[in-house]
Amino acid sequence: MSIGLTRLLHRIAAGLGRLDVVFCGPEVPRGMKSYECNGLSMQYHSCVFEKLDPQRYVDGADVVMLYNPGLGHPAMAASWRESLKKLLVDAPKVCEKLPFVAISR
């Protein structure tokens, strides 16, 4: 993840006292270690959203970052189709307490 994004998340965590972020997407580099420092916790998962166990990884998060979720990217759109459908169907239940952010590089 970029240094600029990490700095921004550190500032948000400082203002809130704590921030738990989950990154997911097939382009998240495999083997990235979870990170925790000064109230900021970041977990990395090299898979699309529907492959995550919500009770294990998502329920305690403050925000989920969808890493390159195929928006406007024809080569990646198919791999995210089921995740995006799930988010749209579950959005009223999920998004009332958990924001999702889509980031593309």
Positive/negative CA dihedral, 72, 98, 82, 89: negative
State pLDDT tens for residues 15-49.
999 999 999 888 888 888 898 999 999 999 998 88
**Residue 47: in which H helix or E strand, if any?**
none
Contact 69, 80 (CB under 8 A): yes
Looking at the DSSP bridge assignments, the partners of residue 42 are 21, 35
Kindly report the pTM of this predicted structure: 0.77
